[in-house]
Amino acid sequence: MSSGVVFSVLVIAAAAYGLVALAARSGLWSAKFPWYIAAIGVPLVVLVAGFAGGWRLLVPGEGGAEPLLPLAVWIDAVVEWLVTRYGDALREHVSNPVVFAIGFFERFLHQSIAWPAMAISFALLAFHASRSWGLTLFVAASFTVIWALQLWTPTMQTLSLISVSIAVTALIGLPLGILMGLSDGFRSVMRPVLDFMQTMPSFVYLIPVVMLFGLGTFSGVLATAVYAAPPLIRLTDLGLRLVDKEVMEAAAAFGADRRQTLWRVQLPLALPNVMAGVNQSIMMALAMVVIASMIGVRGLGQEVFYGLQRQEPGTGFTAGLCIVLLAIVLDRITQAYGQRMQAHSAGGAI
């Protein structure tokens, strides 16, 4: 037994004594026998168990050793069962329609609309949102730079992927956010789930998705939608909870039921927060573009990945620049619409 193991056992015994003593001093000790008996007995049990063989639990397992908690084996078994049982049905009824929608949207953006028309459309959208000539000119210049870099096709592929992913994110996130805003119990359940989703490395999402749906566009859409959903869910919940209680009471006084209050009072007043959630989801979806390229998703992320594989920094930089320009354009437009909605709701409140 090494000195490090001895020290660890002693530290655990001291910590056990400290916890019992702290519980007694804080008035939390409710056992019938005196606390000092437990304060002596618990550390003794720890010492005896530790030096009798329990110290082996303190030593990290060697490579290839069986884990005490075989969580990886359980997850592999569940995913393998899902793939065997439902893989073909999911690909036929879920994956294929989404891939068709992305292909249609991509062809529409790339083949049916010339790049000047697309640039003008986004510039007009920016002006309608912000009433700012500066933002309008920036949007037009950004699309012109993308075209001049000969990366228009990958940009439209990325835009179609982001659009469908955000649509899927909204279908998932908005109902969950509304339920969180209306139910404290559901919110307490969802908060650790959202914490898990936001802190889990994005690469982990790709593994089960690829096993279920294979390499390709749909796997990228699903992984992107799941990765981008938490901000929209959280901000929808926040927006509903920030609605003034006096407004809710006034709606109830005028005879509005729960459904009418939700659709005609709460959601309209929560729209600025919802738009902020959409904005953050778009940014997270764009952050997933390069990672999704590793499973065969076409677009600007694939160009960055090619630059890495071929050691061509110029290719990676130009594709990355296009991602940055597209992100800024979408960010500024959605922010401007959110600010307009906020000003409109504030004016209505006044």
DSSP of 128-141, one letter per residue?
Answer: HHH--HHHHHHHHH
**What pLDDT sits at residue 346?**
54
What is the reported pTM? Answer: 0.73
- Residue 16 CA to residue 42 CA, distance in Å, equals 7
For helices 152-182 and 300-310, what crossing angle results, to 10°? 120
Q: Does residue 9 contact residue 52 with C-beta atoms inside 8 Å?
A: no
**What pLDDT sits at residue 233?**
93
Q: What is the pLDDT along the chain (350 residues), one digit of tens a residue?
A: 555 555 565 666 666 666 666 666 666 555 555 655 555 666 666 566 655 555 455 555 544 456 666 777 888 888 888 888 877 777 777 777 777 777 777 777 767 777 888 889 889 998 988 888 988 999 999 999 999 998 888 888 888 888 888 888 999 899 999 999 888 899 999 999 998 888 888 778 777 778 777 777 788 888 888 888 999 999 999 999 888 888 888 888 888 888 888 888 888 888 888 888 888 888 888 888 888 888 878 888 888 888 888 888 888 899 889 999 998 998 888 888 877 776 665 555 44
Separation in Å, CA 244 to CA 124, 290, 305: 35, 41, 48
Angle at 179 (CA atoms; ends 243, 257), nearest 5 degrees:
60
Q: Does residue 225 contact residue 168 with C-beta atoms inside 8 Å?
A: yes
* Residues 6 or more apart in contact with residue 337 via CB below 8 angstroms: 129, 275
* Residue 133 CB burial class (10 angstroms; 0-12, 13-18, ≥19): exposed
Q: What are the start-end ranges of the H helices in 200-299?
A: 202-213, 217-241, 245-253, 258-261, 267-287, 289-292
| Cα dihedral across residues 84, 86, 92, 95: positive or negative | negative
